[in-house]
Amino acid sequence: MMSPLPASSATVPGVEAAFRAARAEAEARDRADPLGHVRERFLLNEGTINLDGNSLGSMPRAVAERMERVLKQEWADGLIRSWGGAEWFRLPEIAGDRIAPLIGAGQGEVVVGDSTSVNLFKCMAAALAMRPERRVLVAQADNFPTDNYIAQGLAELVPGVTLRAVDTGQALIEAIDSSVAAVVLSHVHYRSAAIEDMPAINRAAGASGALTVWDLSHSTGAVPVDLGGSGADFAVGCTYKYLNGGPGAPAFCWVSPRHLPNARQPLSGWMGHQSPFAFDYGYRPAEGVRRFVCGTPQILSLSALDESLKLWSEIDLSALFGKSRELTSFFISLVEQTCTEFGLAVDSPRDPEKRGSHVILRCKHGLPVIRALAAEGVIGDFRAPDGIRFGFAALYVRFADVVRAVEALHRTLAIRSWNREEFNQETVVT
Amino acid sequence: MMSPLPASSATVPGVEAAFRAARAEAEARDRADPLGHVRERFLLNEGTINLDGNSLGSMPRAVAERMERVLKQEWADGLIRSWGGAEWFRLPEIAGDRIAPLIGAGQGEVVVGDSTSVNLFKCMAAALAMRPERRVLVAQADNFPTDNYIAQGLAELVPGVTLRAVDTGQALIEAIDSSVAAVVLSHVHYRSAAIEDMPAINRAAGASGALTVWDLSHSTGAVPVDLGGSGADFAVGCTYKYLNGGPGAPAFCWVSPRHLPNARQPLSGWMGHQSPFAFDYGYRPAEGVRRFVCGTPQILSLSALDESLKLWSEIDLSALFGKSRELTSFFISLVEQTCTEFGLAVDSPRDPEKRGSHVILRCKHGLPVIRALAAEGVIGDFRAPDGIRFGFAALYVRFADVVRAVEALHRTLAIRSWNREEFNQETVVT
């Protein structure tokens, strides 16, 4: 669809030299990349560089074949029998077990279904029920909006519950007092990519008797996560970013095994019942994490995700997380060598150990810049008011892609900055 | 997959004559059926008769092509741009508008997403918020379990809310007093197929100041529904039954336009926000029924449903509903002519105007009978303790299929009743 990227238009000698050196370095790194072969498992348009895999991951090739089988064999031919015969019924747990090793969870502790928003509601409500004498939810004020919208919805529904939104970091830890039932926060920040100190926050919450609800949407498959080892209580996460589950793929939900027997969530649909086909009048939650399933799972979306997740069993996670850090560091370094004259500023942590797998740059005319890049086949995204965000999914992004993206960014800024008019034509972002 | 059905093994002369007459009648009716051509739009295994389309509808052929396009063009190639470019963002409303004419709703009143269970929660919670001085939910005690499980979950979450489960009919109407915020019930009963008197219940609720939440899972696409004309308040429904949206396809949600401006639901995820990409801290619900969307919709499942729904714009609904009634009447009549000697009894209303598009028979050894039928390619289902249930989706079920199914039922009962042992080997139902 996209036309191939034209050669760099850089004319400043130092910049040109920087790109030349970066191209050579990228070539060497890609050649030595132990994960390089994984890229072939994805259906990629070679004219496009997906640096928005932190928003929507690219498609593993195997999904198309799986979907064909699900449609024609399982649905059209197997019909209702596929709930057992094709394991549709168990798919929320099967997919959950595939995610578990990525987040420091055990088998039988993770379940997939519903959206991240719905799963946040389940976990926050379960935490409130476990702490009936505490009625405050603590949240990061600058968290991804849906987390706080859901907390607001819960606080409006349940009389007496209030939401305390605070700054991240020390302010958040200080906000955890004896009135707090749960702390809801993201592990990797959707905007800055800053990584929260999960063990420290779990310790602070635990010491005060509060429970933690972690949103792992920007962490899973991008950075190391150790829910069990760090003493977390609940977690949810998105699967359409680094897990490549497809647009709007169902989210996951983790409950610490030490809470599971007592954890009750109010979205008590029949598919989380101990015996859904007994058609009992009273709800009895399933024994394990299955009790966090609500209604009938969306099998087409869930099957695509399940297929995408199979890829992970072959991946050396420490190599992957290392490559993520190297890709973002390489990007930051090249941007700083070539683009700072245009007023760009890195707004993500410098320390790669404290950074997720995306980078946000402050950029005055972010929206038209992102659009101009897209027209050249480099997909990033804009985050109001002035952020341009680029994600580096190490399963399929190459070091060479980083160079091509920064070259396109440089070209865009260099050419377009001559024409400030164009930068002011901001229209609706989608 | 299934071997073709063998010829009838009926030996009793009267029974044989009844089947012979039925085959002739079926042939004539199928030939005259104005909807007969619609069957070609489905991918059907000719060795199988899907009489469980009230549980999982068959697959429209167009879905396979749509899914191929969604995967390869929209996801793999379009990536994040497809939220706008392929209308992923608007799909909940686009699909909702396709459902509206089937349920007596207007354009812009229906939205698709999440499960029936989750949507029940939204509607019941919205109703409670609109009636803060009333804290009772009235429910049908024998409703499909998830409706009452969700009501229980809500009642446990919100202090002071109680669930009053009563018999259907007059008892339900009498249970609606001035303490009742909402009445939650199915329009067509999942087991008996009995149709509730929607106008009468809406009137009784309205007179007392209570709101109605209708579950249309077994109604939509099967019987006439007039939400707007009958004065209903809220409705939800399943799309994987008569709407053929695929396994676990997302459910729909309808809010009466007279309530919409004031209806607030607590699953206030970012996709129901007035301006999701503004990343505001505070939740502001979208103007229209979009406020009943929660998190990111599962686009693969939703796209399959959207494609399936396109079929309905060509369907003469009164012809379809008429055929549904004729199919069930034909089935009941043939069962009674041929199978009553085996102790079968019809447990659905006799009056076709009071009956949905499925029929339940009481049958002592229901589970092994349903299994034996499945082995012959006739798919029905078992509902404990003694119900065998058959659904007649008029878009693809023929009168000839009814005859073949009753022949298989007769054969199963006639042969198997000699061997009572086998009937007692009940194993887990899936």
94-153 in chain A: CB under 8 A from chain B: 114-118, 121, 125, 129, 141, 144-146, 148-150, 152-153
Task: Give the mutation candidate from B268, B367, B389 for the A interface (greatest A CB count, under 10 A).
Answer: B268
Report B:218-257 residues touching A (Cβ under 8 A).
238, 240, 246-251
Q: What does residue A240 show for φ and ψ, rounded to 5 degrees?
A: -100, 5
CATH number for B13-60+316-423 (one of 3.30.1010.10, 3.30.1550.10, 3.40.50.150, 3.90.1150.10): it is 3.90.1150.10
CB proximity B50 to A under 8 Å = yes
Q: Which residue does chain A place closest to B68, by CA atoms?
A: A64
Q: Output phi, psi for A286, to 5 deg.
A: -55, 160
Q: Quick one: pLDDT at residue A425?
A: 44
Are B118 and A295 a contacting pair at CB < 8 A? yes
3-state DSSP assignment of residue A344:
coil
> Chain A partners of B88 at a C-beta cutoff of 8 Å?
247-248
CB contact under 8 A, B50 and A159: no
Query: What is the rounded distance in angstroms from the CA atom of residue B88 to the CA atom of residue B290?
Result: 14
CA distance to partner chain A, nearest, from residue B82 (Å): 9
pLDDT range class, residue A430, cuts 50, 70, 90: very low
Structure confidence at residue B417 (pLDDT): 55
Mean pLDDT of A139-158: 96
Contact call for B300 and A248, based on CB within 8 A: yes
* Residue-by-residue DSSP string for A183-197: EEEESB-TTT-BBP-
HSE-up of B288 (CA within 13 Å, CB side)?
A: 14
ipTM confidence: 0.94
CB B28 within 8 A of CB B357: no
- Those residues of chain B that have pLDDT short of 50 are 1-10, 418-430
- Interchain CB distance below 8 Å, A84 and B45: no
Mean pLDDT of A37-41: 98
pLDDT digits (tens, 9 = 90+) for A393-408: 999 999 999 999 999 9
Exactly one of A19, A42, A234, A240 is catalytic; name it.
Answer: A240
Distance CA A98, CA B222 (A): 39
- For the residues A70-99, what does the mean pLDDT come to? 97
Residues of chain B neighbouring A154 (CB-CB closer than 8 A)? 266
> Which residues of chain A are within 8 Å of residue B45 when distances are taken between CB atoms?
76-77
Pair type for strands B387-391 and B381-383: antiparallel
CATH numeric code, B87-314: 3.40.640.10
What pLDDT sits at residue A27?
98
pTM for this one? 0.95
CB B239 within 8 A of CB B252: yes
* pLDDT digits 0-9 by tens, A168-214: 989 999 999 999 999 999 999 999 999 999 999 999 999 999 999 99
Q: In chain B, which residues have their Cβ closer than 8 Å to the Cβ of A383?
A: 279
């369907």: which residue's tokens? B315
Domain ranges in chain A are: 13-60+316-423, 87-314
**pLDDT for position A416:** 60
Q: Note whether B270 contacts A: Cβ–Cβ < 8 A.
A: yes
Distance CA A82, CA A73 (A): 9
Nearest CA in chain A to B139: A281
Beta-carbon pairs below 8 A across chains A and B: 292
Q: What is the 3-state secondary structure (H, E, C) of B280-317?
A: CCCCCECCCHHHHCCCCCCHHHHHHHHHHHHHHHHCCH
Note whether B271 contacts A: Cβ–Cβ < 8 A.
yes
Q: A91 pLDDT exceeds 50? A: yes
Nearest CA in chain B to A246: B75
* Nearest beta carbon to residue B115 from set A77, A78, A294: A294
The reported pLDDT for the residue numbered B3 is 39
- Determine, for residues A430 and B89 on separate chains, whether the beta-carbon distance falls below 8 Å: yes
Place A226 in a pLDDT band, splitting at 50, 70 and 90. Answer: very high
Show which of residues 143-202 on chain A sit within 8 Å of chain B, judged by CB atoms.
Answer: 144-146, 148-150, 152-154, 156-160, 165
B267 contacts A153? CB cut-off 8 A: yes
User: Is any Cβ of chain A less than 8 angstroms from the Cβ of B329?
Assistant: no
